Amino acid sequence: MQRLAECFAERRRQGGKVLVGFLSAGDPDLAQSEQDIRTALDAGVDILELGVPFSDPTADGPAIQEAGQRALAAGVSVTDIIAMAGRLRADYPKQPMILFGYANPFFSKGYEATAREARAAGLDGMLVVDLPHEEAGEFEPVLRNAGLAMIPLIAPTTPLDRASRILRDAQGFVYIISVTGVTGMRADLPDSFRDRIGALRRLTDLPMVIGFGVTNGEQARRVAADADGIVVGSALVRAAREQRLADMVRELRESLD
């Protein structure tokens, strides 16, 4: 978790914002996926979200759904993805990396085994999209004991009293969902999250990042103005398919610097 804190602190010292980049691990296969991830890290992604494919990704739009289906068709498993993280850690010792996925694959592998192997591979935390705070009592202590952060998600519809409970013992950073609905590129994003950030900052000192819908550098600059960083997923997944990933990351990086 120290890498996460240092990443945000360093960007603040530089006067920039953190770029969290999501890519679906194993899309279209492990080898190409790892090459794409290395391209993204070299081009300027600060924090890597390694997307774990799942057959019923209820929070994801078409680009990430399709990427997950390709990865599943290639036979990619949680074990394969954690092994990839270990290879990446050897070459990117300072880069924070988290697993991003749904509860079922981690439950199927076993929470203890997942946390143990993730820690050994050098991962910094996990974000489990469909595991509500009230139902995380079995997994969260396992992650804490392994020294891994369980990144909290705050939706636009989350009441502040519930957000307070979620953030009371949160670690890493806060992932603020900018819009209701699924992930995906959007032509425009509402400004309502600005007031939301102000209210949440009164509840925690953790850094705040905005995700869901950021599509280009201009949007990234506007969205990041009140936050500590942004998350970009669908736009990077599509850029990787179109072999323009490095250019996409550099555009985002320049907008945040």
Question: Which residues are part of the catalytic machinery?
Answer: 49, 60
- Residue 119: name the closest of 97, 141, 137 by CA: 97
| Matching residue, tokens 């990787």 | 240
Distance, CA of 152 to CA of 141 (rounded, Å): 14
> Whole-angstrom Cα distance, residue 40 to residue 236?
9
* Amino acid at site 22: F
C-beta atoms surrounding 202 within 10 Å? 8
Which residue spans within 33-168 are E strands per DSSP?
Answer: 47-51, 97-101, 125-128, 149-150, 153-154
Residue-wise DSSP of 109-130: H-HHHHHHHHHHHT--EEEETT
Token pair of 123 as six digits: 């991962």
Nearest to 150 by CA among 131, 172, 132: 172
Q: Could you count the other beta carbons within 10 Å of the beta carbon of residue 79?
A: 12
